[in-house]
Amino acid sequence: MVEALLKTLSDPSWHVRQTVITALGNISSEHPKVVETLLKTLSANGRNMRQAAARTLGQIGDEHPQVVEVLLKALLDFSSGIQKEVAEILPNLTTDELTIGKLIENALAKYEPLASKQVTADSQIDTLLFALQQVVGDV
């Protein structure tokens, strides 16, 4: 079944591909090609596909430490929708080496004063996003 879904990712309709991305995360993150495909999709051209991949990776991220690294890099995506999606996902993920909650805590402690000057919207997620982007940019 997973193989059939993976083949469907070449469908010309982004709606179909987006649905498949979501289904892949719900069906099996154990299949070796699922995470690999989702990671590749996160760097694909279509914003809707990247956003679906980010959301799906967020659901299975704790099981695969490389997912956290890729999601952190996605904070620098040119799409603000993807940036916000990832900023909402990251607080719920942990790995053996890094607790994302601690990263967020440290990022806010270091960059929140600067964020309040740089972020125009009065939004906690925008402030969090700005702080995390600064940390990722520092690495």
Residue 8 belongs to domain with CATH number: 1.25.10.10
Per the listing, tokens 């053996």 go with 96
Q: CA-to-CA distance for 8 and 37, rounded, in angstroms?
A: 12
pLDDT at 115 over 50: yes
Q: Are 22 and 52 in contact (CB under 8 A)?
A: yes
The pLDDT of residue 139: 45
Ramachandran region, residue 111 (left: φ > 0; alpha: ψ -120 to 50; beta: rest): alpha
Q: Which domain holds residue 80?
A: 2-138
Mean of all residue pLDDT scores within the chain: 75
Give yes or no for residue 118 having a pLDDT over 60. no
Residue pLDDT, tens place only, 6-22: 888 889 998 899 898 88
Band of the pLDDT at 35, cuts 50, 70, 90?
Answer: confident
Q: What is the pLDDT of residue 24?
A: 85
Total domains in the chain come to 1
- Tokens for 30, please give them: 């154990």
